[in-house]
Amino acid sequence: MRLSISEMAKLSGVSVRTLRYYDQIGLLCPEISENSGYRWYGKTDVERMQQILFYRELEFSLKEIAAILSDPQYDKQEALRRQRHLLQLKRMRLDRLLKLLEANLKGERTMEFAGFDRTEYETARQRYAEEAEKRWGATEAWRESQAREQNRTQTVQERLTEEMNDIFRRFAALRETDPASEKAQAVVRDWQAWIRVNHYPCTREILKGLGEMYTADSRFRENLERFGSGTAAFMAAAIAAYTR
């Protein structure tokens, strides 16, 4: 297996800019060709990327992840089992949300709120995070990270909000253009990747449903229109073109 940085970005759902940053901090370093200077990712890099995303799912900082993955006693199989469990819980929640979304799109009224309940998933995520902290919490990297990030939750939320709004602004800037254009489709890919990394596995089916909801649901529509009149409709059209 040999992947370019763009191929790795497409495979993992992580942006090229993020991959370059991971390389800079030594978290995920591809092989660099002596002749061309190109970066190439192999099978080991792909597997390491999966583990990075798993711990990102647990809301670990990049420095914490680096400390964990560099531990010679790191148990990859156990990490995969935990990842599977978390994804199963997420899938159950997403299935409920999709069912609710489909009912709303059909005009059906429902009193179902279970899809919005993250309790089971958050309980498991917190348990795994606590176990990891117990295991690696004595390392210097971990202590430095914790001391520096005591207010990480608020800081992370602010960063995520700004990243999300930046993508919305990019959609808004293109709203007078063809939603099927390469520029518009690139923003859709970035939006899907952002959701995957920061929230949940965003398949084309889920993305398609979200796109429909951006115009069908007044709450989403009003929020997107803050970035410019027609943003919601353009975003929905761009996603529709992407998911055909």
- Phi–psi pair at 39, nearest 5 degrees: -95, 135
Amino acid at 120: E
Mean per-residue pLDDT of the chain: 78
**Coil, strand or helix: which one is 32?**
strand
Higher pLDDT, 176 or 122: 176
Q: Are 239 and 210 in contact (CB under 8 A)?
A: yes
- How many Å apart are CA 37 and CA 31, to the nearest integer? 9
Asked if the model's pLDDT at residue 20 lies above 70, the reply is yes
- Phi–psi pair at 138, nearest 5 degrees: -85, -5
User: 228 has which bridge partners?
Assistant: none
User: For residue 53, is it left (φ>0), alpha (ψ between -120 and 50) or beta?
Assistant: alpha
- How many Å apart are CA 200 and CA 57, to the nearest integer? 9
Contacting residues for 119 by C-beta, under 8 A, at least 6 apart = none
Q: Are 145 and 63 in contact (CB under 8 A)?
A: yes
pLDDT-derived band at 91 (thresholds 50, 70, 90) equals: confident
DSSP annotation string for 152-182: HHHHHHHHHHHHHHHHHHHHHHTTTS-TTSH
Which CATH fold would you assign to the domain 152-242?
Globin-like (1.10.490)
Q: Which of 7, 4, 11, 17 is nearest to 163 (CA)?
A: 17
pLDDT for residue 111: 40
pLDDT-derived band at 115 (thresholds 50, 70, 90) equals: very low
Higher pLDDT, 209 or 148: 209
pTM of the complete model: 0.43
Give the architecture-level CATH label for domain 1-57. Orthogonal Bundle (1.10)
Higher pLDDT, 154 or 82: 82
Q: How many CA atoms lie within 13 A of 124 on its CB side?
A: 14
Q: What are 33-88's pLDDT values in tens digits? A: 667 677 789 999 998 998 888 878 766 778 778 877 877 666 667 766 776 777 77
Asked if the model's pLDDT at residue 167 lies above 70, the reply is yes
Asked if the model's pLDDT at residue 192 lies above 50, the reply is yes
Q: What is the mean pLDDT of residues 126-139?
A: 58
pLDDT for residue 112: 44
**Residue ranges of domains in the chain:** 1-57, 72-150, 152-242
Q: What are 205-232's pLDDT values in tens digits? A: 888 888 888 888 787 888 899 999 999 9
% of the chain beyond a pLDDT of 70: 68
Neighbours of 109 (CB within 10 A): 6
Classify burial at 236, counting beta carbons within 10 Å of its beta carbon; exposed 0-12, middle 13-18, buried 19 or more: buried
- How many Å apart are CA 18 and CA 59, to the nearest integer? 16
pLDDT-derived band at 99 (thresholds 50, 70, 90) equals: confident
pLDDT for residue 41: 92
Asked if the model's pLDDT at residue 140 lies above 60, the reply is no
